[in-house]
Amino acid sequence: MGCSLDIKKSARKFLEKAPKDITNRVSERLQQLAEKPICEEKLKPPLEELCKTRVGSYRVAYLLKPCNIVVVAIGERKLL
């Protein structure tokens, strides 16, 4: 059973502007999270309710709710 995936405006903008290979890798990782929702690692306070995952040199920050994943931000690791 998969969960729904909600991508916020800032993350959607990143996906629209990013190179196609990066977009494909991030999209693939988001599909994996939707199929098997886990929190790989928590962010530090004051953002401890968010989880993060790495896709190469990029980081995806997301909020994990019961059967709903809200992607809050996507960006380079050094910036996010």
Indicate the pTM of the whole model: 0.87
Sorted by sequence, the CB contacts under 8 Å of residue 52 that are 6+ apart come out as: 40, 41, 42, 43, 59, 60, 61, 62
Specify the CATH number of the domain 4-76.
Answer: 3.30.2310.20
What string of pLDDT tens digits covers the 80 residues of the chain? 578 999 999 999 999 999 999 999 999 999 999 999 999 899 999 999 999 999 999 999 999 998 899 999 999 987 65
Helix axes 20-35, 9-17, angle to 10 degrees: 140
